[in-house]
Amino acid sequence: MEGLILVILLVVLGVAGVFLLSSIRVVQQFEHGIVFRLGKVQRGGQLRPGAVRAPGLTAIIPVVERMQKVSRQTITLDVPAQDGITQDNVSVRVDAVVYFRVIDPVKAIVNVQHYGYAVSQVSQTSLRSVIGQSDMQELLGERAKINAYLREIIDEISQGPWGVLIERVEIKDVSLPEGMKRSMARQAEAERERRARIITADGEFQASKRLAAAAEIMSEDPAALQLRLLQTVVEVSAEKNSTLIMPLPVEVLRFFDRAAGGTPRGGEGEGEREEKLALGERLAKAEEELAKAAEQTTLESPDDVPPVIGLEEPKREEPTQGVSGPREDRQRGITDGGPQPGGATPSG
């Protein structure tokens, strides 16, 4: 009799242990515990007390209650690429990624079956809808606007009825047809070429204005042109393997002429024009006198040539035979017009 009682006691203790072990549950920190009592989580249209268990160690009534766990972590969902036609009739292929989490575990378990699959299907249909309502330029250049609009559409469907919050939606890639890619590449290349030409033309215009200003400044002092030429020679001569051919401008000759006491700087003034005019008159008179002397007599030597009126230097100290020396004549542009030995007629 005592052995039977001991067996019954051991059986009762074993059943109690199994019952106790089956009633203990552990809820992780990132989970919600939803307890269904006889298949119900609500009572009288309201949530039953103790229906949602906090993370940690908890116990339920075996057979009567059943616990289902729901993750509170943010879930990353890849939306498969969707083919569509934009508002401007361009065929595109767009894929996206959706980030969501459960904010109401009771709705996520009771109101929808497999809330993750439901969110995936809603995301695909919403993505097709957004593709049809947008043009290609918006899909390529206004990603933030498309992402916000797509998130608003999906969140409106999932948050209220399903207790799922859409945190973020991002379009990953927009695939275009090869012909459209080539057309866009040509357009971008043409735009870059247009900008390059405009910049080059603007640079040429500014350079021409600067060069015109520099030429105006150099024209006031021809020595500046010589200095600029020498500076250019110095810059070119920095290359050891180059052969330099330097032209000699007329301004350089004028510069040396002024340095030797020639015509003063400043161009032709009134005095210079009068001097040239007087010189022309004297040349004409000299030609007439030479022609008359050649007709009247034949001279035996150049020293017998009569003096020419108008060509005598008033400040000459040495006695002359009436004809200025060859050096002074060359300075005035007059060649030797005296008769040659043997009775040759002088040329005008």
Query: Residue 123's pLDDT is what?
Result: 93
Distance CA 69, CA 61 (A): 16
Average the pLDDT over 115-132 and give the result. 91
pLDDT at 137 over 60: yes
> Band of the pLDDT at 330, cuts 50, 70, 90?
very low
Highest mean pLDDT among 191-200, 205-214, 326-335: 191-200
pLDDT tens string 149-160: 999 999 998 888
Higher per-residue confidence, 265 vs 101: 101
Q: Which long-range contacts (CB under 8 A, 24 or more apart) does 305-308 make?
A: 305/338, 305/339, 305/346
Q: Is 58 helix (H, G, I), strand (E, B) or coil?
A: strand
pLDDT at 169 over 90: yes
pTM here? Answer: 0.53
pLDDT tens string 67-94: 888 888 999 999 999 888 888 888 889 9
Residue 230 CB-density burial (10 A; 0-12 exposed, 13-18 middle, 19+ buried): exposed
- Say if residues 77 and 120 touch (Cβ distance below 8 Å): yes
Query: Residue 218's pLDDT is what?
Result: 74
- The whole-chain average pLDDT of the chain stands at 76
pLDDT at 18 over 90: no
Query: What one-character-per-residue DSSP string does 302-340 give?
Result: GGGPPPPTT---TT--S--SSS--HHHHHHHT----SPP
Tokens 């009569």 identify what position? 306
Joined together, the tokens standing for residue 330 give: 């060359």
Give the whole-number percent of the chain exceeding pLDDT 90: 17
Q: Is 20 helix (H, G, I), strand (E, B) or coil?
A: helix
Tokens 């330097």 identify what position? 246
Measured in whole angstroms, the distance separating CA 187 from the mean position of its chain's CA atoms is 16
Measured in whole angstroms, the distance separating CA 172 from the mean position of its chain's CA atoms is 26
Distance CA 94, CA 82 (A): 5
Joined together, the tokens standing for residue 14 give: 């074993």
Residues recorded for the chain: 348
Higher per-residue confidence, 254 vs 315: 254
> Band of the pLDDT at 341, cuts 50, 70, 90?
very low
pLDDT at 142 over 60: yes
> Band of the pLDDT at 14, cuts 50, 70, 90?
confident
Q: Is 104 helix (H, G, I), strand (E, B) or coil?
A: coil
Joined together, the tokens standing for residue 126 give: 């919403």
pLDDT at 296 over 60: no
- Say if residues 41 and 106 touch (Cβ distance below 8 Å): yes
Joined together, the tokens standing for residue 248 give: 């000699």
